[in-house]
Chain A
């Protein structure tokens, strides 16, 4: 067998793939729910490693009050591999309840307990009458951090939620994975504010003052929205099954006025919001966004007129930015590399969303790739004038192309509140992309 064929047997061998493991995804998701303390049942490095691998990679964020080295961990070593880690976990949970302030404790089990067969669920159950506690059954080898997001919510749905009467015009927001979507905090705030304008209450789950309360309210929603072509769909399926909540997949976070307006109209129809209410908001917001966009005119025309641009990002971010750049500011979509390794069955739809409904006479080449070396080789075949990518591409030779990091990992920018979502998100994108071409004219 030739060496090339040997490698094809193992397509998951990759240079610097753009995500961490399922435990990491579950961990950062738990951290995003305010007043939730994750408890890692794992090796000692599984939490701290994600400080570099998720929190810094997701826009140089510190980990908050319960993350990084503030996270309790059973720190499993050889003796636990031999004798089991359940006693260690039991002691850790008991001590954590005394030492750490939190409303919800999420025990997240990693590779070692899975491999040695610890009955983690049984240990967690012993504490159910003392506090709010769930067991997120995951492991690094089960998949990547996007899957870990689903694992966290699977635990929430199965172990924490009970039926509630439906509340009109309340929706839950799923599909944005903390850190993996580097603008997750800003996106969620924008989505919440946009929906509020048309009278819809969005439960964004993360960064809410009462995190546990937000989780518990999930069954009360009239509708679940998933802002991804693929992440979070198992969660809303589960919620449909258990609480009969319908869901709608909004495959990408809308960037700029056009797609934001379409989004609001879609929600208006789904939730039977009077058309007038929606159109009043649309009119005001569009006027404001386009009026401000006029101030971008000179820099755009001189600095990047009809620039050939490339996008390397997770599927949702890639679709949103490709559409905005192409349909609103006249850029030419040359290349899109989808870097979040979406499941095969979702790829045709993602490709369609990236190539249809574009204002340009050219359509982008769409490639699904997460191996950073292969991405480098693909880039060498394209001449670009603007590259929207991860910071892994920042220092690659790229000719004349301007560069902006928009996807995971982005170590080169601090992302706290920044968002390209919504009407004003287009303006934020103009500022960040346009600033790459600034200088005295």
Chain B
């Protein structure tokens, strides 16, 4: 269990939670050594610094609550906002439809639904409480859902919409449970606050007191950056020892949310994502949790399984499982390790630069270590004091490294990628021009609806699959080289020559 000094008790009597800045002293700007960052955070001295140069990076509604919440199966999401705030959810009908029928228990029939209140000029002048009420009735009448999530927005916040008031007025008139999510984009600089406000709403409105404990049930909050195969691998492993998994929120049913209180343990995929939910379930429903490690890489999958075993009384079974799995997977990992070793300069390792969430920092960095590559620097979306002990544990495993904390600041990523020139840059669509380079480049991860075995990242199978795609990146660099040679750079020479990859307000002044 995490024993971070963070975290006041969760107060579900309030309409929403404090933001990460308040709750955990979170920041999204820092450049320095990992040990220094942890020490500063522990001393309570980690503080926000205003950037002079900043890029669009996601708000708490649109990183990516809209997409996540729209995939809850027997619910409707109402985005109380201008129409653009939900456009990122336009792929909702397709997200999970690329998965072959039946694969990993994919049901034959499922539908998702969301509505926008489409706030317009008149609404921002006169208010849109009646419109929201009409939308709730429309959702109830059209879809007869079990729950209706209402997502707040910058606009609903600035014009002072009383969403909780509308909910209180309307709840008696509809059978679905109405769940207001206070994700006004202006509420926080840290997109991770979006996780917390969502879990706050889930804990407050949906989770029911346990009717009976389900000692074989494990709660796992799965991120968009883990794939269908990851769910299958985790289900497979825990299934072998007689445990069942409840993956929330993506592709979950409302019944799963209601029964979160009945599980034996809440286990992490991404600690930063799961934190608020885990603490809330423990505080309100005595469901124990742990935040480290996640099942990424073979060693951490072992440890993750063992930790779950402690809460489920499956110690013996899990040891047998680990032994059995190692027979199949460890030799495969070893051949990947051997290949990475041969690729590296004598006595050294290939240097990998990953851009990661706080959660992935804790999961991926030790995995690089396991593969036999090194991460002398990491780009991290955010950092807060929720995971300090976990950071200590990790640094003890991997050694110290440089950290650039930013949430998808593409110019900063381009700067550090160019100036550090690591052997491999792990990229994603949020990295701008950083992929154009002479050395290696590949994706950091695939996404939720990807059903290919190639895209597995979790568990034993995922360790080998992810090791392999990293290896593939060493074998051909023509795409990034071609694009570097033939397209223009976004940023100026001045930027790349700047000593630090951040441009703060205080420097600009």
With A13-B118, A80-B186: A69-B91 Cβ-Cβ less than 8 Å: no
Are A6 and B134 in contact, CB atoms less than 8 angstroms apart?
A: yes
Give residues of chain B (131-157) contacting chain A, Cβ–Cβ below 8 Å.
131, 133-135, 137-138, 141-142, 154-155, 157
Chain A residues with Cβ below 8 Å from B410 are 68-70
* A131-142 to B contact mask, C-beta < 8 Å, 1/0: 000000001111
Provide the bound-state CA to CA distance between A138 and B124, in Å.
14
**B429 contacts chain A at the CB level, 8 A cutoff:** yes
Which of B84, B490, B492 is A66 in contact with, Cβ under 8 Å?
B490
Are A95 and B433 in contact, CB atoms less than 8 angstroms apart?
A: no
**A418 contacts chain B at the CB level, 8 A cutoff:** no
**B182 contacts chain A at the CB level, 8 A cutoff:** no
Provide the bound-state CA to CA distance between A141 and B153, in Å.
12
Which of A7, A14, A394 is B137 in contact with, Cβ under 8 Å?
A7
**A395 contacts chain B at the CB level, 8 A cutoff:** yes
Which of A75, A99, A112, A409 is B411 in contact with, Cβ under 8 Å?
A99
Give residues of chain B (415-442) contacting chain A, Cβ–Cβ below 8 Å.
429-433
With A7-B137, A141-B124, A145-B84: A75-B57 Cβ-Cβ less than 8 Å: yes
**B94 contacts chain A at the CB level, 8 A cutoff:** yes
Q: Which of A40-48, A226-234, A235-243 contacts B (4 or more CB under 8 A)?
A: A40-48
* B97-137 to A contact mask, C-beta < 8 Å, 1/0: 10000000000000001111111110110000011011101
**B13 contacts chain A at the CB level, 8 A cutoff:** no
Q: Which residue of B lies closest to A80 (CB)?
A: B186
Are A46 and B56 in contact, CB atoms less than 8 angstroms apart?
A: yes
**A322 contacts chain B at the CB level, 8 A cutoff:** no
With A24-B84, A144-B83: A70-B185 Cβ-Cβ less than 8 Å: no
Provide the bound-state CA to CA distance between A69 and B473, in Å.
24
Are B58 and A70 in contact, CB atoms less than 8 angstroms apart?
A: no
Q: Which of B60-68, B200-208, B230-238, B366-374 contacts A (4 or more CB under 8 A)?
A: B60-68
**B85 contacts chain A at the CB level, 8 A cutoff:** yes
Chain B residues with Cβ below 8 Å from A96 are 53
Are A115 and B138 in contact, CB atoms less than 8 angstroms apart?
A: no
Highest count of chain A CB atoms <10 Å: which of B82, B113, B158: B82
**A98 contacts chain B at the CB level, 8 A cutoff:** yes
Highest count of chain A CB atoms <10 Å: which of B55, B64, B407, B488: B55
Chain A residues with Cβ below 8 Å from B60 are 45
**B90 contacts chain A at the CB level, 8 A cutoff:** yes
**B92 contacts chain A at the CB level, 8 A cutoff:** yes
**A391 contacts chain B at the CB level, 8 A cutoff:** yes
Interface size on A (CB < 8 Å)?
81
**A206 contacts chain B at the CB level, 8 A cutoff:** no
Are A57 and B82 in contact, CB atoms less than 8 angstroms apart?
A: no
Chain A residues with Cβ below 8 Å from B429 are 51, 62, 68
* A1-40 to B contact mask, C-beta < 8 Å, 1/0: 0011011011011111111111110000000000000001
Q: Which residue of B lies closest to A148 (CB)?
A: B84
Provide the bound-state CA to CA distance between A71 and B53, in Å.
10
Give chain A nearest CB distance to B316 CB in angstroms: 45
Chain B residues with Cβ below 8 Å from A392 are 90, 93-94
**B188 contacts chain A at the CB level, 8 A cutoff:** yes
Give residues of chain B (251-273) contacting chain A, Cβ–Cβ below 8 Å.
none
Are A112 and B54 in contact, CB atoms less than 8 angstroms apart?
A: no
With A17-B116, A45-B56, A69-B55: A391-B94 Cβ-Cβ less than 8 Å: yes
Q: Which residue of A lies closest to B407 (CB)?
A: A44
Are A99 and B124 in contact, CB atoms less than 8 angstroms apart?
A: no
Chain A residues with Cβ below 8 Å from B155 are 111-112, 115, 140-141
With A48-B62, A100-B491: A20-B56 Cβ-Cβ less than 8 Å: no
With A15-B114, A77-B189, A92-B53: A141-B120 Cβ-Cβ less than 8 Å: yes
Are B52 and A95 in contact, CB atoms less than 8 angstroms apart?
A: yes
Q: Which residue of A lies closest to B53 (CB)?
A: A95
**B40 contacts chain A at the CB level, 8 A cutoff:** no
**B87 contacts chain A at the CB level, 8 A cutoff:** yes
Give residues of chain A (321-350) contacting chain B, Cβ–Cβ below 8 Å.
none
Are B186 and A43 in contact, CB atoms less than 8 angstroms apart?
A: yes
* B216-245 to A contact mask, C-beta < 8 Å, 1/0: 000000000000000000000000000000
Q: Which residue of A lies closest to B158 (CB)?
A: A115
Chain B residues with Cβ below 8 Å from A301 are none
Are B115 and A14 in contact, CB atoms less than 8 angstroms apart?
A: yes
Are A53 and B433 in contact, CB atoms less than 8 angstroms apart?
A: no
Provide the bound-state CA to CA distance between A50 and B114, in Å.
18
Provide the bound-state CA to CA distance between A211 and B118, in Å.
33
**A378 contacts chain B at the CB level, 8 A cutoff:** no
**A74 contacts chain B at the CB level, 8 A cutoff:** yes
Provide the bound-state CA to CA distance between A8 and B32, in Å.
57
Chain B residues with Cβ below 8 Å from A268 are none
Chain B residues with Cβ below 8 Å from A42 are 56
**B487 contacts chain A at the CB level, 8 A cutoff:** yes
Chain A residues with Cβ below 8 Å from B57 are 44-45, 48, 69, 73, 75
Chain B residues with Cβ below 8 Å from A15 are 113-115, 142
Highest count of chain B CB atoms <10 Å: which of A16, A51, A71: A16
Give chain B nearest CB distance to A114 CB in angstroms: 8
Chain B residues with Cβ below 8 Å from A21 are 82-85, 87
Give chain B nearest CB distance to A116 CB in angstroms: 7
With A45-B185, A51-B429, A412-B94: A40-B56 Cβ-Cβ less than 8 Å: yes
Provide the bound-state CA to CA distance between A95 and B89, in Å.
32
Are A65 and B113 in contact, CB atoms less than 8 angstroms apart?
A: no
Chain B residues with Cβ below 8 Å from A95 are 52-53, 503, 508
Provide the bound-state CA to CA distance between A24 and B88, in Å.
11
Are A49 and B52 in contact, CB atoms less than 8 angstroms apart?
A: no
Give chain A nearest CB distance to B85 CB in angstroms: 7
Chain B residues with Cβ below 8 Å from A308 are none
Are A68 and B432 in contact, CB atoms less than 8 angstroms apart?
A: yes
Provide the bound-state CA to CA distance between A373 and B58, in Å.
28
Provide the bound-state CA to CA distance between A53 and B90, in Å.
6
Give chain A nearest CB distance to B94 CB in angstroms: 5
**B456 contacts chain A at the CB level, 8 A cutoff:** no
Chain A residues with Cβ below 8 Å from B492 are 98-101
Highest count of chain A CB atoms <10 Å: which of B64, B124, B407, B488: B124
Are B137 and A48 in contact, CB atoms less than 8 angstroms apart?
A: no
Are B87 and A49 in contact, CB atoms less than 8 angstroms apart?
A: yes
Q: Which residue of B lies closest to A408 (CB)?
A: B90
Highest count of chain A CB atoms <10 Å: which of B85, B141, B159: B85
**A411 contacts chain B at the CB level, 8 A cutoff:** yes
Which of A14, A49, A76, A409 is B85 in contact with, Cβ under 8 Å?
A49
* A395-410 to B contact mask, C-beta < 8 Å, 1/0: 1100000000000010
Are A112 and B158 in contact, CB atoms less than 8 angstroms apart?
A: yes
**B59 contacts chain A at the CB level, 8 A cutoff:** yes
Give chain B nearest CB distance to A137 CB in angstroms: 13
Chain B residues with Cβ below 8 Å from A141 are 82, 119-121, 123-124, 155
**A305 contacts chain B at the CB level, 8 A cutoff:** no
Are A17 and B118 in contact, CB atoms less than 8 angstroms apart?
A: yes
For this complex, 24 residue pairs linking A to B, each with C-beta atoms less than 8 Å apart, are A10-B134, A12-B118, A16-B90, A16-B116, A19-B87, A24-B87, A43-B154, A44-B58, A46-B59, A49-B59, A52-B91, A53-B88, A68-B429, A71-B55, A77-B187, A92-B53, A100-B491, A111-B124, A115-B124, A141-B119, A141-B120, A143-B120, A395-B93, A395-B94
Q: Which residues of B contact A (CB under 8 A)?
A: 52-64, 66-67, 81-94, 97, 113-121, 123-124, 130-131, 133-135, 137-138, 141-142, 154-155, 157-159, 185-189, 191, 407-411, 429-433, 487-492, 494-495, 503, 505, 508
Q: Known contacts A7-B138, A115-B155; can you find 10 more A-B pairs with CB under 8 A?
A: A12-B120, A24-B84, A51-B88, A53-B86, A56-B91, A65-B489, A98-B53, A99-B411, A100-B490, A141-B82
Q: Which residues of A contact B (CB under 8 A)?
A: 3-4, 6-7, 9-10, 12-24, 40, 42-54, 56-57, 62, 65-66, 68-78, 80-81, 91-92, 94-96, 98-101, 111-112, 115-116, 139-145, 372-373, 391-392, 394-396, 409, 411-412
Nearest 9 pairs of A and B residues by beta carbon: A53-B87, A21-B84, A47-B56, A45-B59, A140-B82, A45-B62, A20-B87, A73-B56, A95-B53
